[in-house]
Amino acid sequence: MAFELPPLPYAMDALAPHISQETLEFHYGKHHQTYVTNLNNLVAGTDDENASLEDIIAKAEGPLFNNSAQVWNHTFYWSSMKPGGGGAPDGAVADAINSAFGSYDDFRAKFAEAATTQFGSGWAWLVDTGSGLEITKTANADLPMKHGQKALLTIDVWEHAYYIDFRNARPNYINTFLDHLVNWDFVAANLG
């Protein structure tokens, strides 16, 4: 069973003007596709050829881990955004964030700080640790499931995620993500 590039949950131009179609053509169409292609090449003819993506990630190291985790991370990232998203959540997500962080503003500041201070390539995450919500950050392809955590939301802070639209201004990209793109419905589904 070959892995396939999952379809985006929206049109290639749907996140504009915040994230351009050009960014998605490169980030989704080239970077994400390359991880899928590399993963298929790595598992071809092995015991992992018919394994689930999550099973591969759980036991993989080196290039197999990097490519399988990046397929998962990117798929999760696309769903973490939606046209007309962002701003403060409501309902159960708002309650969970207020309980864990005191307020949405405190959550927002901590999430933005994690995303801004992730040195080099990586991710900032809102996770459920099993004993509450926390904000974490991971380098390169690392992801919460490797640490016994359930991912609820992520932002990709690899430069290819924002360089076309924001150049080197990572904080502007992070603020735009939080103010205009976060898919709180996806977070609510993960929280449930």
The CATH code of the domain at 21-79 is 1.10.287.990
- CATH homologous superfamily of domain 91-191? Iron/manganese superoxide dismutase, C-terminal domain (3.55.40.20)
CB atoms within 10 A of CB 98: 15
Tens of pLDDT, residues 36-78: 999 999 999 999 999 999 999 999 999 999 999 999 999 999 9
The 3-state secondary structure of 76-125 reads HHHHCECCCCCCCCCHHHHHHHHHHHCCHHHHHHHHHHHHHHCCCCEEEE
Regarding beta strands 133-139 and 150-156, do their DSSP bridges make them parallel or antiparallel, or are they unpaired? unpaired
Domain residue spans of the chain:
21-79, 91-191
Residue 103: pLDDT band with limits 50, 70, 90 = very high
Distance CA 174, CA 92 (A): 23
